[in-house]
A and B are shown apart, each in its own frame.
Chain A
Amino acid sequence: MQEVLLARKIIILCGNAQVDWDHIVRLERQVLQRQLHSILKEPVLTSAQIFEALNRIANFSTCKAKMAASPNGSVPTTVLLHVIRRKGVSVPANRVYGILSLVPASVKADVVVDYTLDPAIVYANFVQLNLRDDPMLELFSQVRGPELFRMHGLPSWCLELDRPPPINRFEGSNGLASGYHAGFAPPLSERHVVCEASDRNVLRIPGFLIDTVIDNIEAFATPSSSQVGPTAAVAILDWESRTRTLAARTLKDDDKKNRHHCYVLALLAERTLTKNNMYRKFEGDAVQLYEQYLTHLRELAEHGKATARAFDFPMVGAIADRAFIATAQGRIGYARPSVQPGDSVCVSQNSIVPFIVRNRPEGGTRYAYGRGLCEWHHARRSDGDERSA
C-alpha cells in the first residue's frame, strides 16, 4: 500500500501490457461519471469485482489526495487501519511495519521495528502510540459532530486474542445512553466491545490504560424540578466557571480561542446527546449557544426569571450528577460522581469510549467499576508495563 501512496509515478505492469496509474484513475472517474460498469463486466468480471476494484482505486486516490493536503504528509491512522485490517500479510508484524511510512511522524518515531517481537506485542504497542495521539479520543463519551465522528470498527484489527459473544447490555451510570453505546449511531453499538471470558461476576476486558485522572470538580445534584430557580442558577454558574477554568488549564492547545471552542463543543454535545431528540436544537455556532446559555443563567440568578426556558432541561439536567475531570495527558471530560484523582482511564479493545476504573486496594489487575469488578485483560500502560490478567 505505501509504495502506491508514496510513489511519484506509478506504472502498472501486466504481462506485456503497461498502464500509467493516472490512466487507471481517469478511467475510474469516467466509469463512474458515465455509469459504464456494465460494459466492463463481460466476459470475466462480476459486478462485485468491478465495484471492489473501483472502490480500491477510489480509496487510493483519496488517500493520496489526503496525504498531499496533510500538513505532515501522513494518512489519518484510522483510514490506514481500516485498510490494513483486511489485508493479508505473510509476516504478521508487517501489518504495522508496512504502514510506518504513512503514519504521523510522532507515532513512527516511537515504533521500534523488531521482528523478534511477538506480533501481538507489536500491535498493542502501535495501538498504544496511536491512542496517545488520537485527537478524537476525548473523554467526552457522547461527543458527536462532523469533526468528531469516528470510523466504524477501529481498531478491531488489533490483538484479537479471542472473540466471545458480545454483551449487548453493558450499561453506564446513566443507562445505555452513557454506556458503550454513547456517541455511536445504532449500527456501531452492535460491535464486539466488551467480552465475557470467564467468571460470572467478573468482566474480562481486553484494552489499554491510556491516562490518569489528576483533578476533578464534584458533581452537583439534579435540581428538584426541570425548571432552574435563582439559587440553582447561581450554583450552576459557579460550577460552569470552575469547569471552564479547569478545562483551560488542562487542554494543551496553545490557541486559547480554540481551547474554549473545544470545551464548549464537547460540553454541548455531551448535554444534548444525553437527552435524545434534543440534538437538533443545538445545531449552529456552539460558542454562541454557550454564551446564550450563560446569559440565561445570569438572568435567572439576578432577576429570578429568564426570557427563555428552553435551556433548563437539556442543558442542566444532563450535566447534573456528573463530575468534571482533568487527566494527566491533557484530556477533560465527565465521570461518575465517585471519581477520584489517581483513577485510571482505560479504553477497551474495539471501542473508543473510555472507562474510568480504580485499582482495588489489594492491588493486582482487578479494577473496581461501579458496583462490580472488571479485569483489564492485556492492558498496557504508556511506558509498556503490561498488566495481563
Chain B
Amino acid sequence: MSYRYEPLPDTQHIRLLSLHALSGHNSVAATLSTHSLDDPVAYGALSYAWGVAETRCAIQIDGSSFQVWPNSYAALLRLVQAGRIGPVWIDAICIIQNDKAEKAMQVPLMSDIYTHASSVYVWLDEASTAEEQASIMLPDMLDRLEKADLLARPTFQEVPNLSQTFQELGLPPLSRISESA
C-alpha cells in the first residue's frame, strides 16, 4: 500500500521524518509526523543531489511503501546505519512534491527550516576505503598542520613528513564537495 499524506494544518507546520533503527535487512523505515516551527523540536536536515536516475527505491513510512530516488535512499540508509535516527527534514519526502499549492506554502519556510535544524547533513556519494580512512584521520592531520610554524612558511619540499602524511591519507576527493553544493 502506498503512503498517503495527511494535509498540513497551517502555514507554520512542517513534516519531519523519524527514522527507525535498522532491523535485519538494509531497509529504511520511518514515521512521518507534523510539527510547528514555533515549537522547539530537535531535528536534522538532509541535503543531497536529486539525481536523474530512472529507478526508485522503496522505504517504509508508517508501514506504507514510499518511493524515493536512489540518492536520497542511500543518504537515509547512511543516517540509519550511523545511528542518527532522530527526526530529519528531507524535502522530497516532507513536502508533497506533486502538490504545487503545498510547495508554494512550504518554500517560504525554508529559511526557518534550515536555521532551526541542529545539523544539516550533506550527502555526497559512496566513498572508497581510502576516503573513509582519510575522513577519520583528517581532524588529527589538521591539528598537526595548523600547529606547524606558519611564519616559517615551509614549502612542500621542506615538510616531507607532512606530504607523506597527505599521501598516506589520500585526502577526501574535494570534487565531490563541489558536486553537492
Chain A residues in the interface with B (C-beta under 8 A) = 1-4, 6-21, 23-24, 26-27, 30, 33-36, 38-40, 44-45, 49-50, 52-54, 56-57, 60, 90, 97, 100-102, 108, 113-116
Contacts and interface: CB of A to CB of B under 8 A. Distances in A.
Interface in B123-148: 123-128, 131-132, 134-136, 138-139, 142, 145-146
A90 B49 CA distance: 10
Interface stretch (B16-24, B28-36, B58-66, B113-121): B113-121
Contacts of B145: 30, 34
B94 to A, nearest CB: 13
A115 B45 CA distance: 23
A7 B111 contact: no
B175 interface: yes
Contacts of A39: 156, 163, 166-167
A23 B142 contact: yes
Given A7-B114, A34-B145, A49 B175 contact: yes
Contacts of A20: 139
Given A34-B159, A40-B166, 8 more contacts: A9-B120, A10-B121, A19-B172, A20-B139, A30-B145, A39-B163, A45-B174, A56-B178
Contact of B117 (A7, A16, A30, A49): A7
Nearest to B142: A26
A247 B143 CA distance: 57
21 contacts: A3-B114, A4-B47, A4-B122, A6-B115, A8-B120, A9-B119, A10-B119, A11-B120, A13-B75, A13-B78, A14-B124, A14-B125, A15-B127, A16-B132, A19-B135, A45-B174, A45-B175, A56-B178, A100-B108, A101-B111, A101-B114
B118 A4 contact: no
Nearest to A52: B178
B111 A100 contact: yes
Given A13-B75, A13-B78, A45-B174, A4 B131 contact: no
Contacts of B136: 17
A26 to B, nearest CB: 5
Interface of B: 45, 47, 50, 52, 75, 78-79, 81-82, 100, 103-105, 107-108, 110-111, 114-115, 117-128, 131-132, 134-136, 138-139, 142, 145-146, 150, 154-156, 159, 162-163, 166-167, 171-178, 180-181
A263 B111 CA distance: 37
A9 B122 CA distance: 11
A57 B135 CA distance: 17
A17 B119 contact: no
Contacts of A108: 108
Nearest to B116: A8
A17 to B, nearest CB: 4
Nearest to A46: B175
Given A40-B171, A53-B178, A56-B181, A8 B117 contact: yes
Contacts of A45: 173-175
B77 to A, nearest CB: 11
A57 B123 CA distance: 16
A11 B75 CA distance: 12
A-B residue pairs, 8 tightest by C-beta: A15-B127, A101-B111, A53-B174, A17-B135, A7-B120, A6-B114, A115-B100, A49-B175
B111 A14 contact: no
Contact of A11 (B114, B119, B175): B119
A231 to B, nearest CB: 61
A15 B154 CA distance: 34
Contact of B132 (A11, A17, A26): A17
Nearest to A24: B177
Contacts of B155: 35
A116 B128 CA distance: 43
Contacts of B82: 13, 18
